[in-house]
Structures are given as C-alpha cells and as structure tokens.
Chains A and B, each alone.
Chain A
Amino acid sequence: MYSQKSDVETRYFKRFVKWASIIFFLSVCLLFSMTLASAVGPMPVSVENALGIIVHQVPILGNLVSGQWTPLEENVIVQLRFPRVLSAALAGVALSTAGVVFQGIFRNPMADPYVLGVASGAGFGALLVILFGVGFSSLGLFYAIPFMAFIGAIFTLLLVYTIARTNSGIPILRLLLAGIAVSSFFSSIISLMIAMAGEGMHVAFNWLFGGFPVNRWEYVNVAAPIILLCLVAIYAFARDLNVMLLGEEQAEQLGVEVETMKKRLLILSSLITAVAVSMSGIVGFVGLIVPHMMRILIGPDHRILIPSSALAGASLLVLCDAAARTILRPIVLPTGIVTAMLGAPFFIYLLMKSRKITV
C-alpha cells in the first residue's frame, strides 16, 4: 500500500539514533562532572581515585576496580562529597525539567519555577519546617521538608492561577505578572523569617542560597526516587507537550485533554521543584537557562528536550556547586550565587536576542 521509503523518511528515523547518542554523550558528561566535583575540595583526591571510589560503591561493577586510595579518601568522598554532588545533580535534573515543562505549558520562554512563584512558595514551606520543626526527628525532617515545600508550591500555584484567571481563560501575561507578584511576596516573607530567626538564621540563610546544608545519604534516598519517578511520568507526556506548543485549541483538536494535561504536568513539576528546593534552597536560573540552551542546540521536540535538559542541568549544577566550594576556599559560597552569576548574563542575552518575541 505504501510506497518505498524515501530519503526524508530515512533521515527522520536516523534522528532517533542521533537522540540516543546525545543522551549517551550527556550521560558521560554528567559522570565526568560528578567525578570531578567529588575530587575537588579542601582535601584533594585524584580524579582516577575519585572515579574508582564511586564505581567501587556500585554492586557487582564495584568488584572490578581495586582500591589504591586511602580509607580517609574513601570516607570523605562516600560520606561527605558524593551525597552533596548527587543532591546537586538531582536538583539540576528537577529544576531543568520543571523549567522545560513550565515553558512548554505556557508557551513562554520566560516561564520557570521562579518566575511563576512556585519555587518561592516551596521555599516558604520548607523554611517553616527548618525554622519551626524542632520537634521532628532527623528522619522526620527529611520527609517533612519536601512535603511542606510541595504544599507551599501547590498552594502558590493555585494562588497564582486564581489571581490570573479571567472569564475567558488564563492569559499568559496575567499568569506571569501574578507569578512575579506572588513570588516577590513570598521572597520577602522568607527574608523576614530569616531576619527574625535568631539562632537558626545561619542554617536558614545557607539553605536559602543553595548551600546544600543537608548532605546526608538519607536525604538523597528520599529525593532521588521522587525526582526520578516524576521525570519518567513527565517524559510520558512529552509528545503531548509538543502538540500543546501549537496552542491549546489545536492541541485539544489533536486529541490532547489540555486541561487535565496541564494539571498533571503542573502538579508533577511543582513536586520536583519542591523536592529540589528543599534540598538545594532557591537556586535561580537553572530552570531558565538549561532548557533554552538545549532548545538552541537540539530543537524543540520534548522527547529529547526533557532528558537532555535533565542531564545537562544536572551537570551544570554539579559543576556550579563544585565551583562554589572551591573558588574562594576555604569560604564555601552558596551555589545560587554561582548560577545567578552565570544565569543573569544569559538571561540578558536572551532578552536582547528575542526582542521581537512578545508575550
């Protein structure tokens, strides 16, 4: 019935191979950044040893490498640095993915978890636990922080949505403006809470600027499954996100239940934002710059955009975190400062380049 495959069709299917190689390349990059980030610090460990130590922790595969490192080195990497690196990677995955989803749903290049207020809301929720959750056990804290952050994120999202809603739907411009207003409000509440925190001030302050104060394995064990499951769930809707770029009405006519899809995706991305925020504090710009970089490099198709943004975001945040730890050693800078220093100029470049694009 159908005629011979043409060159165009062959090239179309080759694209899937290209996608696979992009994923492979970015995974290697991530592994490399994680190794490098584990190696640097007050007590330098060679890169081969760092890699060896990390691989050694993996069951089965670990038996293949023999140790030429000291027990101290192993302890530093396994107990101190690697959980921190891993939580930076997870936060990068979460924030970048949430950025892709928000930009896709709202068809707006400026949308990200921060602009929409979701991150500030999550931060508010998390900070409540950090400052007032004295009664919790340490494991209780690990669950309570992301849980309250999620509540804060969803609450903010509903608030922003309600404010932006008009009779004829939710105009993007109103949504962004409402997001910015609510975001500023929660940011100032957060500042106020920190200023009045007294003893807890230092902890809260470090957390707020992405200092990853919680770097224990327990936390990673909680955050990793949530983030990875959400990532898989979001990826299942990648093709729907593509179709939604055509506009809500056309998406509906192409069989996407737009309202349901929006709700699902907003809840999923709020959840990963909340988990990331409770782990890393408010690390700005990752959710904004990574999706844009990836769109410029590999195109708008969410089926490759989501995984590649996740991997690239992870690498970026791991490297930024490593830079924050080493640039002004022995002072450990908040990661948020490094990402903002990278992100703000990029944001400005984006603004200048896309002058013709209006909301």
Chain B
Amino acid sequence: MVTLRIYGVECYYGSVKVLENVSFSIGSGELVGLLGPNGSGKTTLLKTISGTLKPKVGAVYLDEAEIYGMKSREVAKNIAVVPQNTGTDFDFTALDVVLMGRHPHISRFKFESEKDLAIARSAMELTNTWHLAERHINELSGGERQRVIIARALAQQPKVLLLDEPTTHLDINNQLEIMDMLKGLCSEKGLIVLAVFHDFNLASRYCDSVILLNNGKIVSVGNLDEVLTSENIRKVFHVDAVVKKHTLTGSLYVIPISQKRAETSINKKFRVHVICGAGTGTQLMKTLIEEGYDVTAGVIHVLDTDYETAQLLKLPVISEAPFSPITEENYRANLEMISKARAVVLTAVPFGYSNLRNLEAAKEALELGIPTFIIDDVPIKQRDFTMGKAEKFLSELEGKGAVYVRSQSQLLSLLCKLREKLKQKEASVRVH
C-alpha cells in the first residue's frame, strides 16, 4: 500500500501565483480525476507532483519519502508522467520510446536486458501497441502515439501514474479502452492514478474521486456527487449544467446548457408559457431559455419527455399524474401561471382526453389578452384523438386572435417583435 500526500503546495511563475495551498492525498488503487478550467493550474500541479517543478512552499510525500529530496532517477522509478504534448521529431521506433521508460532502472554502462524488453513488451501489450513496436514514432497517429507514451510510463513500473489529458485526442473507442485499462491497473496493481480531464462524463464514469481546481486553488475534493454539482460547475466554469445519475451506467453525467443564458439578460422578465407534451416542447423550451426568455410550462404529465426537460432546465412547471386527465386544481394552477406570462405558445402536441383542458387554458389566455401562438408543423387532423373536439377548439382559438406559426424560428422572430412592441408601449406609458 502506497499513499501520495500533497501538503500545502504553492507555486509561482515569476511573481504570479499559480497554485495556492493545495493539499490532498491519494491511496493505492485510486483513480482520481483532476478537473478545472484552462489555466486553473492542473498541469502545474502534475509537474509539481512529478518533481519537475519545485514548489515555493509545501511538500509532496510518497509514503514517508519527500520527493524533492530524491534523485530524478528515484522519482522516475516511482512516478511516471504522460504529458499532454508528445509530438516528436526524430525517428526512434515505438519500442525504442517505450524502452526509454526503463532508463531509470538500467545502470549507466549497461544495455537493456531481456527482462527490460519483456517489461516493455507487456506494457505495450497492455496498451495494445505491441504490433506497432517497430514502426517509427513520428509515423503513428495521435491515438497510437498516446498509447505508446502510456506504455512508456508503464514500463517505468511506477507506483504513481500522472496523466495530462490522456484522452483528449482520442476517439470514443480509444478513450474507453484507455480508461478501462487505467481502471484495471488501479484495481489489479494498486497503482495510484491522477489524471487531468476535460470531459466530466468520462471522469465521472471512471474516477473514484475528483479534485476540482480553480485559479490554483482546490474548490472541492471528494466523491463525485459531492464535487460534481451544478453549483460547483457554475462557480468554476461559468456554465449552467444539469447533473444527473444515468439510469444505465449508474454514473453521474453532466449536460452543459448553453452559457448564453447568463449573457443575454435583455429578455429576462419576458415570460413565455409553453403548453406542450409528448416531446414537442423540448427543443422549444431549451431554445427559449438560451434566448434568455423566462419560461414556464404546463400542464405536462409526469414521465412525459417534456416534463423531464422542464425538470432538467429547472423550469416552473405544472404537472399531472401520468395518464390522468387534468384535474381542476392543476388547471387552475396552470391558469394562474399563464396569467403571469407575456405570451403563450401552444406546440403541435397530440390531443387526447387527458390533455384537452390545456386548450381551454389557451382560450382563457386569449381572453386575458395574452398573445398566443400556435405551432402547427403537424396538421391537427393527424394529432387529434378526441373525435374532432381539439380541432374545433383550435379554430375557436384562431377566431379569438391566436397566431399560427409554421416553425420555431418564425415563432422566435414574432416573439422578438412582440417584445419590442411591449417595450415601446411601456416606455410611452412611462412618459405620460
């Protein structure tokens, strides 16, 4: 059992502090993810741990041994690094490069022994690169080269493996292959792995714990569900994200939502109520949010895709039990919500008896003088399952001034005009 301990590390580039009071420890067999925005100090932290960069304050211990007191050779026998940029410009073969991982183990006047070659071979077999052994390193693809460099690190037979964005240039298959391999090394050989990731989902799927770094400081460290929260992600990356547990893999997954929301606050306070269902409102709600509108929705049945979306986007939504007709109580609540909106949008939702009252609500909206838009990219005849009742309702709505639109973009431009008009009106009211 080995433990890597980092105590109060502080690093400077010139007079700029890049790491501030960073402390944590990792035990044998743990795969730890290092997350954080560009320039947050992730690479610097890896350099510090590998001994290439000596911190001004603080220390790094591998068990009882302080690594800055060790010779490079000793450090290299214990800690291996897979750097971010592995471009090379000379023609060593892949095997030559992997054998360089044996450098700290071979004494000065000796050549590689059969044992060294066997170790290099098993490292290359593990990373699925043995077939590339005699190819020149500069002829390999990015993914192949990355795996060769990982093999080189493994040939060092380290106790700690540090990887700087090991999967960034790889396709999805290679990513999973490498992550599975790293996971296997942790559990079987008790390796300590610390890797920088930009992909939250990959990190959450494989890491035992994560460290979130921002401006050289640890924001949060620990279990995935403690660190990977939408609050932390907003705080560090300035991006709204939805964090959920995936039903299939059981791991957390993070869906970033466009960061436009925060920027375009002009549309804030302009509330649009969406009447939707059966997935017809999913795209629309997301787009409206991105355009900066304040969005509400209802009535939607629980388990409906649109309901899930509204939940993910954290929208106020009036919901109804699955497959049940809309109750009087929920109908009222929906009307209450509609009355606070500046516009209502009715998507091309299929109508049955359970959601027919939503059309009634739209009629109420028109009677309250709230502009109502009907998207009918699917003709009502194809989605009316109420023996013509819904169709009749719709034509009634048209008679009361509802506007038909054919597409989402048309809707957006109409909403935009409406907003301008209301703004001017408000302005003139204020003048008077």
Taking the closest CB of chain B, its distance from the CB of A260, in whole angstroms, is 9
Contacting pair B121 A299 (CB below 8 A): no
Known contacts A5-B114, A252-B52; decide if A11 and B72 are in contact (CB<8 Å): no
Residue of A nearest to B117 (CB): A9
Please report the C-alpha to C-alpha distance between residue A257 and residue B104 in the assembled complex, in whole angstroms.
Answer: 11
Instruction: Identify the stretch in B32-40, B94-102, B268-276, B368-376 within 8 Å (CB) of chain A at 4 or more residues.
Output: B94-102
Contacting pair B114 A253 (CB below 8 A): no
Cβ of B392 under 8 Å from chain A: no
Please report the C-alpha to C-alpha distance between residue A280 and residue B14 in the assembled complex, in whole angstroms.
Answer: 45
Residue of B nearest to A300 (CB): B90
CB-defined contacts of A303 to chain B, threshold 8 Å: 111
Instruction: Identify the stretch in A243-251, A308-316, A322-330, A333-341 within 8 Å (CB) of chain B at 4 or more residues.
Output: A243-251
Report which of A11, A240, A253, A357 forms a contact with B89, defined as CB distance below 8 A: A357
Contacting pair B71 A253 (CB below 8 A): no
Taking the closest CB of chain B, its distance from the CB of A221, in whole angstroms, is 27
Contacting pair B76 A301 (CB below 8 A): no
**Most chain B CB atoms below 10 A, which of A246, A249, A256, A303:** A246
Interface size on B, residues (CB 8 A): 44
Contacting pair B134 A255 (CB below 8 A): no
Report which of B79, B95, B100, B109 forms a contact with A246, defined as CB distance below 8 A: B100
Report which of B88, B90, B101, B134 forms a contact with A254, defined as CB distance below 8 A: B101
Q: How many A-B residue pairs have CB under 8 A?
A: 89
Contacting pair A299 B91 (CB below 8 A): yes
Taking the closest CB of chain B, its distance from the CB of A91, in whole angstroms, is 27
Contacting pair B122 A2 (CB below 8 A): yes
Contacting pair B90 A245 (CB below 8 A): yes
Please report the C-alpha to C-alpha distance between residue A114 and residue B216 in the assembled complex, in whole angstroms.
Answer: 44
Report which of B71, B80, B106 forms a contact with A257, defined as CB distance below 8 A: B71
Contacting pair B73 A253 (CB below 8 A): no
Please report the C-alpha to C-alpha distance between residue A253 and residue B81 in the assembled complex, in whole angstroms.
Answer: 7
What 1/0 mask marks residues of chain A from 122 to 158 whose CB sits below 8 Å from any chain B CB?
0000000000000000000000000000000000000
Contacting pair A9 B91 (CB below 8 A): no
Contacting pair B76 A254 (CB below 8 A): yes
What 1/0 mask marks residues of chain A from 205 to 238 whose CB sits below 8 Å from any chain B CB?
0000000000000000000000000000000100
Cβ of A242 under 8 Å from chain B: yes
Contacting pair A252 B72 (CB below 8 A): yes
CB-defined contacts of B73 to chain A, threshold 8 Å: 255, 257
CB-defined contacts of A3 to chain B, threshold 8 Å: 118, 121
What 1/0 mask marks residues of chain B from 286 to 307 whose CB sits below 8 Å from any chain A CB?
0000000000000000000000
Please report the C-alpha to C-alpha distance between residue A245 and residue B90 in the assembled complex, in whole angstroms.
Answer: 8
Taking the closest CB of chain B, its distance from the CB of A52, in whole angstroms, is 37
Residue of A nearest to B83 (CB): A250
Known contacts A301-B92, A301-B96, A357-B89; decide if A256 and B103 are in contact (CB<8 Å): yes
Contacting pair A12 B117 (CB below 8 A): yes
CB-defined contacts of B77 to chain A, threshold 8 Å: 255
Cβ of B50 under 8 Å from chain A: yes
Cβ of A264 under 8 Å from chain B: no
Cβ of B108 under 8 Å from chain A: yes
Residue of A nearest to B73 (CB): A255
CB-defined contacts of A301 to chain B, threshold 8 Å: 92, 96
Contacting pair B121 A9 (CB below 8 A): yes
- Which residues of chain A (33-70) have a CB below 8 Å from chain B? none
Cβ of B390 under 8 Å from chain A: no
CB-defined contacts of B91 to chain A, threshold 8 Å: 299-300
Please report the C-alpha to C-alpha distance between residue A256 and residue B81 in the assembled complex, in whole angstroms.
Answer: 14
Contacting pair A243 B103 (CB below 8 A): yes
Known contacts A8-B134, A9-B121; decide if A255 and B90 are in contact (CB<8 Å): no
Report which of B14, B83, B90, B92 forms a contact with A249, defined as CB distance below 8 A: B83
Cβ of B242 under 8 Å from chain A: no
Ranked nearest first, the 7 interchain pairs of A and B with the lowest CB-CB distance are A255-B76, A255-B104, A2-B118, A255-B73, A253-B81, A300-B90, A255-B72
**CB-defined A-B contacts under 8 Å, sample of 5:** A2-B115, A12-B117, A240-B103, A249-B52, A255-B71
Residues of B within 8 A of A (CB): 13-14, 47, 50-52, 71-77, 79-81, 83, 88-92, 95-97, 100-101, 103-104, 106, 108-109, 111, 114-115, 117-119, 121-122, 130, 133-134, 156
Using A8-B130, A249-B47, A253-B76 as known contacts, list a sample of 20 further A-B pairs with CB atoms less than 8 Å apart, ordered by residue number in A: A9-B117, A9-B118, A11-B134, A12-B117, A236-B108, A236-B109, A242-B92, A243-B100, A245-B88, A246-B97, A250-B83, A252-B52, A254-B100, A254-B156, A255-B75, A255-B104, A256-B103, A300-B92, A301-B92, A303-B111
